[in-house]
Chain A
Amino acid sequence: MTPKFLPLCLLLVLLTLPARAQKVPVIEKTLSNGMRLLLLPRHDEPTVAGGWVAHVGSANERPGITGIAHLFEHMMFKGTPTLGTKDYKKDVEIINEQERVRDLMRQEESVMRTLWRRGEITDLLNPDTWTPRYKELQAQFKKLVDAQREILVKNEFDRVYTSNGGSQMNAYTSQDVTVYFITVPANKLELWMWMESGRLLAPVFREFYAERDVVFEERRMRTESTPTGRIEEAFWAMFWESHPYSWPVVGWPSDIPAISKKQADEFYALYYAPQNLTTVLVGDFDPDQATALAEKYFGRIPRGKEAAPDVVTLEIKQPAEKRMNGEADTNPQVDIMWHTPAFGHKDTYPLAVLAQLLSTRTGRLYKGLVLGSKVATEAYAQQHAMRWASLFNVGGEVTDGKTPADLEAGLLAEIEKIKTTEVPPEELQKVKNNFAAGEYRKLSNNHAIMQALLRYDGLGRWQEINEAGPKLQAVTAADVKRVAETYLTKDNRNIASIVRKTGKNASEDPDLAGLSPQQLPAVRQFLGRLAEEKNVEALKARLKQMEEQSAKADAKNQQFLTILKKKTAERIAELEKK
Chain B
Amino acid sequence: MKQTRILALLACSVAALGANAADIPDRPEKLKYPALNYSPPDAKQFRVALKAGPVAYVVPDRELPLVNIFILVRTGDYLDPVGKEGLAGITGYLLARGGTKSKTAEDLEERLAFLAASLNSAVGDTQGSVSLNLLSKDLDEGFAILREMLTAPRFQDDKLALRKQQSLQAMKQRNDDAADIEQRERRYLAYGEGFYFNRHSTQASLESLTRADLEGFHKRWFHPKNFVVAVNGDFEAAAMTARLEKLFAAWPFTGEVPPPVPTERKFAAPGVYLVNKEVNQGRVTILLPGIQRDDPDFPATQVMNDILGGGGFTSRIMNRVRSDEGLAYSAGSGFPGGVYHPMSFLAAFQSKSRTVAYATSIVLEEMRKIATETVTDEELNTTKKQFIETFPQTFATKRQVAGTLAGDEFTGRFAKEPDYWRNYRSKIDAVTKADVQRVAKKFLTPDKVVILVVGTKEEILKGHPDHPVKLESLGGGRLVDQPLRDPLTMKPVTK
- Contact: B465 with A185, CB < 8 Å? no
The one of A10, A505, A528 in contact with B176, judged by C-beta atoms closer than 8 angstroms, is A505
Contacts of B166 in A (CB 8 A): 377-378
Contacts of B486 in A (CB 8 A): 507, 524, 527-528
Give the CA-CA distance A10 to B62 in the complex, in Å. Answer: 12
Contacts of B4 in A (CB 8 A): 43, 46, 186, 284
A64 to chain B, nearest CB (A): 22
The one of A45, A166, A221 in contact with B330, judged by C-beta atoms closer than 8 angstroms, is A221
B42 at the A/B interface (Cβ < 8 Å)? Answer: no
Give the CA-CA distance A215 to B323 in the complex, in Å. Answer: 11
Contacts of A226 in B (CB 8 A): 177, 179
B100 at the A/B interface (Cβ < 8 Å)? Answer: no
Could you tell me which residues of chain B, from 305 to 328, have a CB within 8 Å of some CB in chain A? 311-314, 318-319, 322-328
Give the CA-CA distance A6 to B61 in the complex, in Å. Answer: 13
The one of B62, B162, B326 in contact with A370, judged by C-beta atoms closer than 8 angstroms, is B162
Interface segment out of the listed A187-195, A386-394, A459-467, A489-497: A187-195
- Contact: A10 with B11, CB < 8 Å? no
- Contact: B389 with A164, CB < 8 Å? yes
Give the CA-CA distance A128 to B392 in the complex, in Å. Answer: 52
B172 at the A/B interface (Cβ < 8 Å)? Answer: yes
Assess A292 versus B19: contact at CB under 8 Å? Given A210-B324, A211-B326, A284-B8. yes
Could you tell me which residues of chain A, from 423 to 437, have a CB within 8 Å of some CB in chain B? 426, 429-430, 433-434, 436-437
- Contact: B319 with A154, CB < 8 Å? yes
- Contact: A286 with B24, CB < 8 Å? no
A557 at the A/B interface (Cβ < 8 Å)? Answer: no
The one of B12, B66, B327 in contact with A285, judged by C-beta atoms closer than 8 angstroms, is B12
Give the CA-CA distance A146 to B346 in the complex, in Å. Answer: 29
Contacts of A295 in B (CB 8 A): 19
Interface segment out of the listed A90-98, A260-268, A296-304: A296-304
B324 to chain A, nearest CB (A): 7
Could you tell me which residues of chain A, from 215 to 250, have a CB within 8 Å of some CB in chain B? 215-218, 220-221, 224-227
Could you tell me which residues of chain A, from 521 to 552, have a CB within 8 Å of some CB in chain B? 521, 524-525, 527-528, 531-532
- Contact: A167 with B16, CB < 8 Å? no
- Contact: A195 with B329, CB < 8 Å? no
Could you tell me which residues of chain A, from 397 to 454, have a CB within 8 Å of some CB in chain B? 397, 399-400, 426, 429-430, 433-434, 436-438, 440-441, 443-446
Assess A127 versus B9: contact at CB under 8 Å? Given A1-B62, A225-B281. no
Contacts of A149 in B (CB 8 A): 324
A373 at the A/B interface (Cβ < 8 Å)? Answer: no
A452 to chain B, nearest CB (A): 15
Contacts of A3 in B (CB 8 A): 62-63
- Contact: B36 with A217, CB < 8 Å? no
Interface segment out of the listed B112-120, B212-220, B237-245, B251-259: B112-120
Assess A158 versus B493: contact at CB under 8 Å? Given A43-B5, A213-B326. no
Give the CA-CA distance A165 to B162 in the complex, in Å. Answer: 47
- Contact: A361 with B97, CB < 8 Å? yes
B34 at the A/B interface (Cβ < 8 Å)? Answer: yes
- Contact: A362 with B110, CB < 8 Å? yes
Contacts of A213 in B (CB 8 A): 325-327
The one of A330, A433, A444 in contact with B399, judged by C-beta atoms closer than 8 angstroms, is A444
Contacts of B116 in A (CB 8 A): 433-434, 436-438
Contacts of A518 in B (CB 8 A): none
The one of B33, B176, B312, B465 in contact with A329, judged by C-beta atoms closer than 8 angstroms, is B176
Contacts of B281 in A (CB 8 A): 217, 220-221, 224-225
Q: Closest residue to A434 on the B side, CB-wise?
A: B116
B64 at the A/B interface (Cβ < 8 Å)? Answer: yes
Q: Closest residue to A156 on the B side, CB-wise?
A: B314
Contacts of A360 in B (CB 8 A): 113
Q: Closest residue to B3 on the A side, CB-wise?
A: A46
- Contact: B350 with A19, CB < 8 Å? no
Q: Closest residue to B455 on the A side, CB-wise?
A: A225
A290 to chain B, nearest CB (A): 8
- Contact: A163 with B382, CB < 8 Å? yes
The one of A194, A397, A433 in contact with B169, judged by C-beta atoms closer than 8 angstroms, is A397
The one of A191, A209, A531 in contact with B33, judged by C-beta atoms closer than 8 angstroms, is A191
Assess A218 versus B329: contact at CB under 8 Å? Given A190-B31, A224-B281, A440-B65. yes
Which of A47, A297, A446 counts the most B-chain CB atoms under 10 A from its CB?
A: A47
Contacts of B329 in A (CB 8 A): 214-215, 217-218, 221
Residues of A within 8 A of B (CB): 1, 3-6, 10, 14-15, 19, 43-47, 77, 82-83, 127-128, 149, 154-155, 158-160, 162-167, 183, 185-191, 194-195, 207, 209-218, 220-221, 224-227, 284-286, 288-289, 292-293, 295-297, 299-300, 329-331, 360-362, 370-371, 377-378, 397, 399-400, 426, 429-430, 433-434, 436-438, 440-441, 443-446, 504-507, 521, 524-525, 527-528, 531-532, 574
A–B pairs, 16, beta carbons within 8 Å: A14-B136, A43-B5, A45-B397, A154-B319, A162-B313, A164-B385, A167-B390, A218-B329, A220-B281, A221-B350, A377-B169, A438-B116, A440-B64, A440-B65, A506-B493, A521-B203
- Excluding A289-B15, A377-B166, A527-B491, 17 further A-B contacts by CB distance (< 8 Å) are A43-B4, A44-B1, A47-B392, A127-B354, A186-B4, A210-B323, A214-B322, A217-B328, A220-B352, A226-B179, A227-B176, A285-B8, A361-B113, A437-B116, A437-B135, A521-B488, A525-B488
Residues of B within 8 A of A (CB): 1, 4-5, 7-9, 11-12, 15-16, 19-21, 23-28, 31, 33-36, 38, 61-66, 97, 109-110, 113-116, 133, 135-137, 158, 162, 165-166, 168-169, 172-179, 202-204, 207, 276-281, 311-314, 318-319, 322-330, 350-352, 354, 381-382, 385-386, 388-390, 392-393, 396-397, 399, 464-466, 484, 486-489, 491-494
